[in-house]
Copies of this chain bind each other. A is one copy, B any other.
Amino acid sequence: MAFQIEADLPPGLACLKSVDALLRCPICFDYLNISMITKCSHNFCSLCIRKFLSYKLQCPVCNTQVTEQDLRNNRILDDLATNFQAARQKLSKANFDSPPISPKT
């Protein structure tokens, strides 16, 4: 839920972009925070989806009917998001510490 969208990945890590995107919440676009999976297999931050369901009982992605009782923790996504962010930072640092990147046109 934090209002913090990280800068783009450095060019050398562009191939990780789709992994990065999958680990983000479709509601707040930040990395998933206490991930909950719906019966329709979509994932959101716990707070984001609960707030949404208090307004409308359907999945924000595919419109399938969803209730709060249907939600299930998807803890592996929390671990993946945490570990991916750490790796991303290390790789970016390695990328920037070594030869400077010439600006792209």
Residues of A at the B interface (CB closer than 8 Å) are: 11-13, 15-16, 18-19, 22-23, 37, 39, 41, 43, 72-77, 79-80, 83-84, 86-87, 90-91, 94-95, 98-104
Provide the bound-state CA to CA distance between A83 and B23, in Å.
12
How far is A66 from B84 in the complex, measured between Cα atoms in Å? 30
A14 CB, min distance to chain B CBs, angstroms: 9
Residues of B within 8 A of A79 (CB): 18, 22
* A87-B37 CB under 8 A given contacts A98-B99, A99-B98: no
Copies per complex of this chain: 2
Known: A87-B16, A90-B15, A91-B15. A37 touches B72 (CB 8 A): yes
Task: Report yes or no: A43 in contact with B100, Cβ–Cβ below 8 A.
Answer: no
The CA of A53 and the CA of B90, in the complex, are separated in Å by 40
Across the interface, do B104 and A72 meet the contact criterion of CB distance under 8 Å?
no
Partner of A74, one of B18, B41, B100: B41
Contact indicator B41/A76 (Cβ below 8 Å): yes
